[in-house]
Amino acid sequence: MSASHAKSIAASFASGALFAVGLGIAGMTQPSKVIGFLDLFGAWDASLAFVMIGAIGVYVVLYRVITKRTSPLFDARFHLPTRRDLDRRLLLGSAIFGIGWGLGGYCPGPGLVAAGSGSLVALAFVLSMAVGMKLEQWVAARTW
C-alpha cells in the first residue's frame, strides 16, 4: 500500500470520526430531537435547523477554498456531481427517504453512529437500511 493510499484511508477515517463527534454534540444521534424538529405542528424543536445552519455555514466557506485547488490531496481530480436535471427518481427517492426518516428518527449517519455506540435498535436500523439499499440497487440494475 502506498503512503498516499494509506493517508487517504486515514483521512477518511478521521472525517468519519469527526463527523460522528459533530452529530453527537449536535444531539442528532437522538431520534427524539430529530422527530422534535419534524413535529412542526406539535412540540417543535428547531435545533436541527441550527445544525444545518452551522454545517452549511462552515462548508460553504471551506468548499470555495478547497475547490480552488487543482486536485484534492489524495486523488488526481475532484469527483463532484454535475447533474442538474430534476427527475422523478430524485423526487420519489427523497420522499421515500423522508418518510423513513420521520418514522424512525434516524438517517444514515446518525444510525451508524448510534449503532457504534452499542444501540441494538440503531443496529437494526442500519441492517434494514443496507437491505433497502441493496434492493434499490437490484431494482435499478433491472429497470433504469
Partner 1 sequence: MHNFTPYSALLGGAVIGLASALFLLSLGRVCGVSGLFGGLLRRGADIPWQRAAFVGGLVVGGALLRLVYPHAFAARETIATAATAATQALPWLSALPPWAIVVPAGLLVGFGTQLGNGCTSGHGICGISRLAPRSMVATASFMAAGFATVFVVRHVLGGAS
52 binds partner 1 (CB under 8 A): yes
Sequence-distant (≥ 6) Cβ neighbours of residue 114 within 8 angstroms = 29, 106, 121, 122, 125
Please say whether the beta carbons of 31 and 38 come within 8 A.
Answer: no
Give the residue, chosen from 3, 20, 68, 142, that forms a contact with partner 1 under the rule CB under 8 A.
20
- Which positions from 60 through 119 interact with partner 1, judged by CB under 8 A? 60, 62-63, 66-67, 71-75, 77-81, 83-86, 89-109, 111-119
CB of 32 to partner 1, least distance (A): 4
Q: How far apart are CA 63 and CA 67, in angstroms?
A: 6
4 binds partner 1 (CB under 8 A): no
Q: What number of other Cβ atoms are within 10 A of residue 124's Cβ?
A: 13
CB of 142 to partner 1, least distance (A): 14
